[in-house]
Amino acid sequence: DVKVTQSSRYLVKRTGEKVFLECVQDMDHENMFWYRQDPGLGLRLIYFSYDVKMKEKGDIPEGYSVSREKKERFSLILESASTNQTSMYLCASTTEAGARNEQFFGPGTRLTVL
C-alpha cells in the first residue's frame, strides 16, 4: 500500500513566522505535489516536483517555496506566513509509470496563521 505521510496534522503559527511542512512517501514515486484546499475552491496546485532537486510552479506559487533533496521527501516552505495562508495543505505523489493519473494523498496539515 502506498503511504504518504505529513509531518503535522494541525499547526498554529504567527504572522511572519517561517513554516516548514514535510511530506514523505514510501513507494519510490517520481512525482510529488503540494496543494492547498479551501472551501468551494477545491484543490489548487502550489508546486510540484518530478525528480530530486527539480521543481515546477503550480497555479498559486506566490508566498511559497519547496525543497526536494531526496526522492521520498518533499517540503513546502512558507517564508513569512500570512493570515491568507490559513488553509488545509495536502501532499500527493504519483509514479510516471502509472497510467491512471492516480495521485496518492497524505492526510493533510491544517495550518492556522494568527
Partner 1 sequence: QKEVEQDPGPLSVPEGAIVSLNCTYSNSAFQYFMWYRQYSRKGPELLMYTYSSGNKEDGRFTAQVDKSSKYISLFIRDSQPSDSATYLCAMTYNAGNMLTFGGGTRLMVKP
| Neighbouring C-alpha atoms within 13 Å toward the C-beta of 20 | 7
When asked if residue 78 is in the footprint of partner 1 (CB under 8 A), the reply is no
When asked if residue 103 is in the footprint of partner 1 (CB under 8 A), the reply is yes
Q: Give the nearer residue to partner 1 in terms of CB position, either 17 or 71.
A: 71
The Cα 52–Cα 110 span in angstroms is 26
Shortest Å, Cβ 13 to partner 1: 20
Residue 96 three-state SS: coil
Shortest Å, Cβ 92 to partner 1: 7
Q: Are 85 and 61 in contact (CB under 8 A)?
A: no
Grid cell locating 88: 488545509
When asked if residue 16 is in the footprint of partner 1 (CB under 8 A), the reply is no
The Cα 58–Cα 91 span in angstroms is 13
The binding track of 31-70 with respect to partner 1, each residue x by CB under 8 A or -, is --------xxxxxxx--x---------x------------
Q: Are 14 and 64 in contact (CB under 8 A)?
A: no
Note the residues at the interface with partner 1 (CB under 8 A): 4, 9, 39-45, 48, 58, 90, 92, 96, 99-103, 105-108
